Amino acid sequence: MRVLVAHNRYQVRGGEDAAVARDLAALERAGCAVEAAYLDNAAIDSGLARLRAAVSATHAPAGIARVMEAVHRFAPDVVHVHNVFPLLSPGIHAAARAAGCATVQTLHNYRLICPGAFLMRDGAPCESCVTGSPYRAVRFACYRGSRIGSLAVARMVDVHRRAGTWRRDVDRFVALTPFARERFVAAGFPSDKIRIRPNGLPDPGPPAGHPRRGLVYVGRLSPEKGVLVLAEAAAAAGIRVTVIGEGPLAGTLADHPALDLRGPCAPNAVQAAMARAAAVVVPSLWYEGLPMVVAEAFAAGTPVVASRIGALASLVSDGTTGLLAAPGEPQDLARALARIEADPAAAAAMGREARAVYEREWREDVTTRALLEIYRDAVAARAADAPLAPTGT
């Protein structure tokens, strides 16, 4: 299998960039011939560059041309597309199919149906653009508080929705969770083309049998992540939570008596902190895609206390692999935190079940096999759709 991965990197490296890198390495280990075609948002380094990117985002001919150079040179069986905004655009699928390649699109977030990418507005879930006009996002400046930026994304969403790009030009989609699949189907994406496959994670090894202590939050310190709710809940429960990460709320939370802010840490230090913790807390207020912190916690044999919202409600089995609390409700979250602290044996049992779920669903070899099956499915679909060659007389 020859696979070309196309990805528009973010200016600040995040979970999606890391997931792409893990997939590339896993595919190579599985024996595939793999090449990556990257576009990088670090190149958008001025006001003029931002304006140019916004104007061209709907079709992004320069970005598509760069990827197609790699397609013609590398001759892949599959072009696997990840982030397309703003330097690539969904138009890459039509170009790749015209060159005879099968195409796959991973739906890491909701940007292809929501200009803000989070299905969230004013601190609460919002699905206005899922079935309605994406130009509603311009009124609320949903993309980074910018109406111009929001217009650029909304136009990309609208043009490709109307053009039938998703039904005509993409052979298979990869949704990270059943919840995400439902949202994209509601937005008009073809249900028969969407497969569910979570991001994989290399096995850190069996968890050590030492006693667990304390609660850990790992992630961005921003409102949609629910860290303000966590601070209030921890104070109400009389529990101190270790917080690893950075973000706009770092200053606000710096002196909070219930939080121990460690700032950003190296991946091995984060993994060690999770492996020592009684539980990892994910108090999000928005529809997370697939927060890898859950997979990382499960791999470490650590249960997760999460908000009962979006995909989190199915990723964490209440009372089995962790606990669920009402999103945005500090008292309910405090109850869950206190329950973990009060019953270490029950928390340890949930951690063992969490590790079993990781081995069954998120271990790298499992998810790589699933991805290769999606590729084979896409190649077969592409071959079935290919026009017949004219016969001789």
Mean pLDDT of all residues in the chain?
94
- pLDDT for residue 167: 96
Give the pLDDT band (50/70/90) at residue 42: confident
Provide the residue ranges of all domains of the chain, joining segments of one domain with +. 2-108+164-200+364-385, 215-361
Asked if the model's pLDDT at residue 389 lies above 70, the reply is: no
Coil, strand or helix at 138: helix
- pLDDT for residue 391: 53
> Among residues of the chain, what percentage have pLDDT more than 70?
98
- CA angle 17-283-335, nearest 5°? 155
Asked if the model's pLDDT at residue 132 lies above 50, the reply is: yes
Q: Cβ distance 364 to 220 under 8 Å?
A: no
Q: Give the pTM.
A: 0.92
Which of 53-62, 82-91, 299-308, 381-390 shows the lowest per-residue confidence on average (mean pLDDT)?
A: 381-390
> Among residues of the chain, what percentage have pLDDT more than 90?
88
Asked if the model's pLDDT at residue 218 lies above 70, the reply is: yes
Q: Cβ distance 270 to 244 under 8 Å?
A: yes
Q: Cβ distance 76 to 2 under 8 Å?
A: yes
- pLDDT for residue 388: 54
Rounded CA-CA distance 84/157 in Å is: 11
DSSP state of 226: T
Q: Cβ distance 57 to 86 under 8 Å?
A: yes
* Mean pLDDT across 158-167: 96
- CA angle 222-223-228, nearest 5°? 100
pLDDT in tens, 240-258: 999 999 999 999 999 999 9
pLDDT in tens, 98-107: 999 999 999 9
pLDDT in tens, 308-358: 999 999 999 999 999 999 999 999 999 999 999 999 999 999 999 999 999
Q: What is the CATH number of domain 215-361?
A: 3.40.50.2000
Q: Could you write out the DSSP letters of every residue in 96-136?
A: HHHTT-EEEEEE-SSTTT-TTSSSEETTEE--HHHHS-TTH
Q: Cβ distance 20 to 7 under 8 Å?
A: yes
Paired sense of beta strands 78-81 and 102-107, if any = parallel
> Nearest Cα to 230, choosing from 328, 347, 123, 338?
328
* Mean pLDDT across 169-183: 97
Q: Do domains 2-108+164-200+364-385 and 215-361 have the same CATH topology?
A: yes
* Mean pLDDT across 7-25: 89
- Angle (deg, nearest 10), helices 227-237 and 330-342: 50
Asked if the model's pLDDT at residue 372 lies above 90, the reply is: yes
- pLDDT for residue 386: 74
Give the pLDDT band (50/70/90) at residue 76: very high
Torsion of CA 248, 252, 256, 262, to 10 degrees: 30
Give the pLDDT band (50/70/90) at residue 46: confident
Q: Give the H/E segment covering residue 218.
A: strand 215-218
Give the pLDDT band (50/70/90) at residue 392: low
- Angle (deg, nearest 10), helices 267-276 and 292-299: 60
Measured CA to CA in angstroms, residue 13 lies from 5, 8, 382 at distances of 17, 11, 33
- Residue in this structure with the two tokens 């039509």, named with its chain if needed: 94
Burial of 107 (0-12, 13-18, 19+ CB in 10 A): buried
- Domain 2-108+164-200+364-385 part of CATH 3.40.50.2000: yes
Which of 87-91, 275-279, 286-290 shows the lowest per-residue confidence on average (mean pLDDT)?
A: 286-290
Measured CA to CA in angstroms, residue 68 lies from 8, 32, 74, 99 at distances of 14, 20, 10, 9
- Residue in this structure with the two tokens 């070899």, named with its chain if needed: 365
- Residue in this structure with the two tokens 């299998």, named with its chain if needed: 1
- pLDDT for residue 393: 43
Rounded CA-CA distance 338/24 in Å is: 41
